[in-house]
Structure 1
Amino acid sequence: MFVVHIENLDLNLLKALEILLDERHISRAATRAHITQPAMSRALARLRVACDDELLVRTPAGYELTARARTLQDELIGVMRSIRAMFDDIDFDPSTASGSLRIAASDYPVSLLGSRLFPTFTREAPKMSLIVTPVAPSSFVDLDQGRVDLVLTPLAAPEHLARQPMFTEDFVCVLARSNPLRAERLTVDDLTSHGLASVGGMHPQQTIVLDQLERLGAHATAEIRVPTFSAAISAVRDTDLIAVLPRRFANRHADEAVRIAEAPEEIAGFSYWMLWHPRVTDDREHQWLRSLVLRVAEEATAD
């Protein structure tokens, strides 16, 4: 079992550990920490003893993190933020701040918000990193444990998580132009008889559309399940399948091979939520990130 005796650990090493795991290079880490390379090498040696792990191993391609180092890197995100919040009475300034922020999101909010979010983030926080990962079954646990800062999702989430709606959305149907259906608004029977190209949700939760169809007692005769909305559009080309997708996404990504029809009236729209752990509600850095995402979402959905 991995054990660190904290009473024997110089907590000043945590900052060195954070930088070393991020840079994966002793010289660059030393430069970033404003110390000499020998001093950083000594810090790494002490960390290896304290952690009973090599942390960084040399390979032909450079240093790589050990499995334990990768776990430590994830845990340090929340730990270092908490430590800084304990002692930092200065207002957070994104223009001078460093470090990383992490968002878990599906391809839809990334596609919808990315063209504004990424340039705005790099402009306002030029020394910070933004890491976006796919929403996964572990995403809510990752929020609990500080491995991600925000989760952007329309799916039901644990009650203890803080949340705020970003925007509302409704559905449309995307189908191949060769599909024999010609109506401007499709019916539930159309969906079930022609089959669906659906987008898989977080297990064990179903997708919003499939869940609604199940409540209506309707079941598709055939289905292709894909991981992203983009793949769903590809799946309907040259088939009789139908993809039920968010309207904004369909309007932006449909091409000449497909057409858009109104979804059945029984298929309700949804809200997209921004979720975070309550412990960071008052954290200045996190407040800035949430404000940025909401500002970008408002701009993107006003188009």
Structure 2
Amino acid sequence: MNLRAVDLNLLVILDALLDEAHVTRAATRLGLSQPAMSNALERCRILFADPLLERSKEGMRLSPKAQLLRPLLKNNLAQIQQLVLPEQPDLTVLKQQVKLGMSDAVASLICSSLYQRVAEQAPGLDLLILPWHGSEQTLDALRQGDLDLAVSVFTDLSPSFTSVELMQQQYLVVMCKDHPAAIHFDLQQWLCYPHLMVSGRGQAYSSLDQKLAEQGLKRRVAVVVPSFLLIPDLLRHSELISLLPESSLPANWQQDFVCFTPPLALDPFPLHLASHVRRQHDPAVQLVSQLIRQIVSNQLQSSGA
């Protein structure tokens, strides 16, 4: 194919169309009229000899070829952006969305400070905080371009991703102050009562259950919730017990709860900040990444960790 005959603006338009899977939303995103976007979609269909967006009962969906094109398109647009952007862009005039994936516990720790600092340094940046659905799904979202940055536990990442360790997390066992197990807490007491678990994927089994099984032990996970914000009320009014990362403890937990070191040896785990390599030269994403690292570092220093 002769590239001189290809309007490269179509690639930017196609990127928006595949992200939104909706002609009107893609047009709004790029500041185009709906007829102009529809016309561009038809030109893209001719260029790639594929429908790209297909009608379904739920609306428009990506064709199989479009699903393959989407990450390739994002990679190539990122390289072109790196080629043409100035080395030191003016952050104050950037207008862009930065999409972040993290648990609500992590978001509650950093988002207020993050917004304040972004507003000061790059007031045109918008932050979209998306829910965490597990590390595997989060990595796929980074790969597809649905996320720019993510905070989670990431191990053995492929060269397609970059990551830095933000902090080490310890586990603590949490229950209400008047819980029967709090009097003489031990392994037997821990396993005698129903457990409360947080899972973005709705799973009632974790690495803890595997560790227990290796010792011929088992717990009952009575409640699984998708959010750490639901933990306090559930614990406060029940005999549920929860194993939580120390950073996700309820605010002022000493008033209503007691915490114990797990009666089973559990290693601390790292929390990482990850992105796809295509984002390593995106000034907006790199600014947000830098600010998150600074915020977490300052919090660790102030807590004496």
What residue is the counterpart of 1:180 in the other structure? 180
Q: Distance in 2 between matches of 1:98 and 1:27?
A: 17
Indicate if the aligned counterparts of 2:82 and 2:281 stay in contact, CA closer than 8 A.
Answer: no
Partner of 1:110: 107
The structural deviation recorded for 1:155 is 5.0
TM-score (norm 1): 0.74
Q: Report the more deviating stretch, 103-112 or 136-145.
A: 136-145
Partner AA of 2:41 in structure 1: L
Distance 1:288 1:277, change over 3 A: same
Q: For 1:2-22, what per-residue CA distance to the aligned partner results, in whole angstroms no more than 9, with x for missing partners?
A: xxx988641123445667887
**What letter matches 1:259 in structure 2?**
F
- Kindly state the Cα deviation for residue 134 of structure 1 after the two structures are TM-superposed: 1.9
Identity between Structure 1 and Structure 2 (%): 18
> Secondary structure, in 3 states, of the residue corresponding to 1:252?
coil
Residue aligning to 2:98 = 101
With normalisation by structure 2, the TM-score equals 0.74
For each residue in 1:127-160, what CA deviation from the matched residue of structure 2 results, as whole angstroms up to 9, or x when unmatched? 1222222223422122233332222112545344
Q: Given residue 181 of structure 1, which amino acid in structure 2 is its aligned partner?
A: A
Say if 2:258 is the partner of 1:260: yes
**Following superposition of structure 1 onto structure 2, how do residues 23-102 of structure 1 map, counting pairs within 5 Å?**
24=24, 41-42=35-36, 44-51=38-45, 66-68=60-62, 78-102=75-99
Write the distance in 2 (CA, Å) between the matches of 1:17 and 1:221: 49
Higher deviation after alignment, 133-142 or 76-85: 76-85
Taking the aligned partners of 2:210 and 2:233, their CA distance within structure 1 comes to 23
Q: Secondary structure at the match of 1:95?
A: helix
| Correspondence for 1:62 | none
Q: Name the CA distance, whole Å, in 2 between partners of 1:19 and 1:44.
A: 12
Q: CA RMSD in A?
A: 4.0
Which sits farther off after the overlay, 293-302 or 200-209? 200-209
CA distance in 2, matches of 1:54, 1:133: 26
Pairwise CA distance, 1:216: 4.6
Q: Tell me the number of residue pairs that the alignment of Structure 1 and Structure 2 aligns.
A: 285
Aligned with 2:132 (options 132, 135, 146):
135
Aligned to 1:148: 147
Matched, 1:164 2:164: yes
Which has the larger displacement, 233-242 or 40-49?
Answer: 40-49
After TM superposition, give the deviation of residue 97 of structure 1 in Å.
Answer: 1.4
Residue segments in structure 1 that go unaligned for 5+ positions in a row: 58-64
- Which SS does the other structure have where 1:165 is aligned? strand
**Alpha-carbon separation, structure 1, partners of 2:29 and 2:123:** 18
In structure 2, distance between residues paired with 1:141 and 1:27: 26
State whether residues 175 and 243 of structure 1, in contact with CA within 8 Å, keep that contact through their aligned partners in structure 2: yes
Contact kept? 2:91, 2:283, Cα under 8 Å: no
Structure 2 CA distance, aligned partners of 1:215 and 1:151? 32
Alpha-carbon spacing, 1:140–1:282, altered in 2? closer, same or farther (3 Å): same
Distance 1:73 1:142 in 2: 15
Aligned equivalents of 2:282, 2:127: Cα separation in 1: 17
| Compared CA separation, residues 25 and 74, structure 1 to 2 (3 A) | same
The 8 Å contact of residues 26 and 37 in structure 2, kept in 1 or not, is answered as no
